[in-house]
A and B are shown apart, each in its own frame.
Chain A
């Protein structure tokens, strides 16, 4: 195991040489690339990466260009997890037979799969579940923007109640998406994964710490990264960090980690808890909730968030 990169502060972090290039075709202000940069810069070890079909994949590998300065593979929508699991199994086999190339000597490559929320919550779910059952030494990062943004904003099972999307539009008869979001972090923790965490790009220190912890952990690691989408959440491109701050401080996206499937730790407690109403008001996809007939949904949402926060705190106290 090679030594973990030391990142004490942002100045020190900024000396990293990026392995993700600009002039990819992600929207201006997209949080995906902020997350990818924070993950790739968290280590100096060689990286073997894969991506599911989705914004990140189509925008970083537009023929004839690639934006990745590391080994990167794309196969299909559902199998970024199994592609990287196969690479990891191959690495283990070659290591056992002492047939690794010279360039791998003294290094411990990191295997990371990226997927959007569509590829994680819906389409690729059974593949990820299989990888976690087999216990590959890999990290799966879900870039959770709560919608199929790449194909024009269809609802996914990560879309929260009340969000207007192209397949769950809000209008005279509907308030938008009617089903609640899957709790993917708890689902993956229930696989008995050694490390599962929820992160947000605006809390970079918390995020880098969790990523490094994930890299140091042997076994399948799941990271759910909140990724504010300027196009589908409908806010101005320069507000990405501000909206992410609102999401984290209103506890819609609480930052916590679960070790060995049970030990839950809350890693960030907002000093000033912001009402969910402020988070919803910052985004165009929830505009209709502020009509008098749908206001009750905001109160319901607030209650849901409060209950969940209460539940997380109780679990942290009990240590289970």
Chain B
């Protein structure tokens, strides 16, 4: 994307969310079907803010969706009432999802960023 300088911007500068007209309102189109423009922050990456990352364990999840509602960064992917996973491009690693997870042991846990997800799943703690 070509960035304009601060003095090249037009008055009333507009940032477009989508590249083309959408037939429906965005509330009726799931993110994977949206024609995102390069100027949408969906295309940006904040994964490098993380020190710890949440790892998701499908076997323990009860699909309560607490993590979905309380995620500040829209990084919990839920489709058809099921939790699918974590969007690591937009997750800043705040850890709220882990705190609100009600299962025992938790189905989301924070691990060091460099740890492999499969390895993390193998090290999952037992029920207390």
Q: Which residues of A contact B (CB under 8 A)?
A: 10-34, 37-38, 40-41, 43-46, 60-70, 107, 201-202, 204, 230, 236-242
Since A18-B31, A22-B75 are in contact, a sample of 8 more A-B pairs with Cβ atoms closer than 8 Å, ordered by chain A residue number, is A18-B74, A20-B74, A22-B87, A23-B44, A24-B41, A66-B15, A204-B70, A230-B94
Residues 12-23 of chain B, each 1 if its beta carbon lies under 8 Å from chain A, else 0? 010111100000
- Whether B57 sits at the interface, judged by CB under 8 Å, is no
Q: Which residues of B contact A (CB under 8 A)?
A: 1, 3-4, 9, 13, 15-18, 25-31, 34, 38-46, 49, 63-66, 68-75, 78-81, 87, 89-96, 98-100
A10 touches B66 (CB 8 A): yes
Partner of A10, one of B3, B17, B64, B99: B64
29 pairs, CB–CB < 8 Å, chain A vs chain B: A11-B64, A14-B68, A14-B78, A17-B27, A17-B29, A19-B27, A20-B74, A21-B17, A21-B41, A22-B42, A22-B46, A23-B43, A23-B89, A25-B46, A26-B73, A28-B49, A28-B73, A28-B92, A34-B69, A34-B71, A34-B72, A62-B41, A63-B9, A63-B15, A64-B1, A66-B39, A66-B40, A69-B26, A238-B96
Of listed A24, A31, A65, residue having the most chain B CB within 10 A: A65
Partner of B81, one of A11, A17, A22: A11
Write the chain B residue with the least CB distance to A40.
Answer: B27
CB proximity of B96 to chain A, nearest CB, Å = 6
Report Cα–Cα, A18/B79, bound state, in Å: 12
Report Cα–Cα, A64/B74, bound state, in Å: 20
**Taking A10-B65, A67-B41, A69-B18 as contacts, is the C-beta distance between A15 and B89 under 8 angstroms?**
no
**Which residues from B are CB-within-8-Å of A14?**
65, 68-69, 78, 81
**Taking A15-B80, A17-B29 as contacts, is the C-beta distance between A23 and B70 under 8 angstroms?**
no
**Taking A12-B81, A204-B69 as contacts, is the C-beta distance between A69 and B41 under 8 angstroms?**
no
B27 touches A16 (CB 8 A): yes
Write the chain A residue with the least CB distance to B17.
Answer: A69
Determine the main DSSP class of B at the interface with A: loop
**Taking A15-B81, A17-B30, A66-B41 as contacts, is the C-beta distance between A237 and B94 under 8 angstroms?**
yes
**Which residues from A are CB-within-8-Å of B26?**
17, 19, 69-70
Write the chain A residue with the least CB distance to B15.
Answer: A66
CB proximity of B103 to chain A, nearest CB, Å = 15
A11 touches B72 (CB 8 A): no
**Which residues from A are CB-within-8-Å of B17?**
21, 66, 68-70
Report Cα–Cα, A26/B69, bound state, in Å: 17
**Taking A66-B39, A68-B17 as contacts, is the C-beta distance between A33 and B96 under 8 angstroms?**
no
Report Cα–Cα, A31/B1, bound state, in Å: 31
Report Cα–Cα, A172/B80, bound state, in Å: 57
B65 touches A69 (CB 8 A): no
Write the chain A residue with the least CB distance to B1.
Answer: A64
CB proximity of A20 to chain B, nearest CB, Å = 6
**Which residues from A are CB-within-8-Å of B91?**
22
B42 touches A23 (CB 8 A): yes
Report Cα–Cα, A240/B31, bound state, in Å: 26
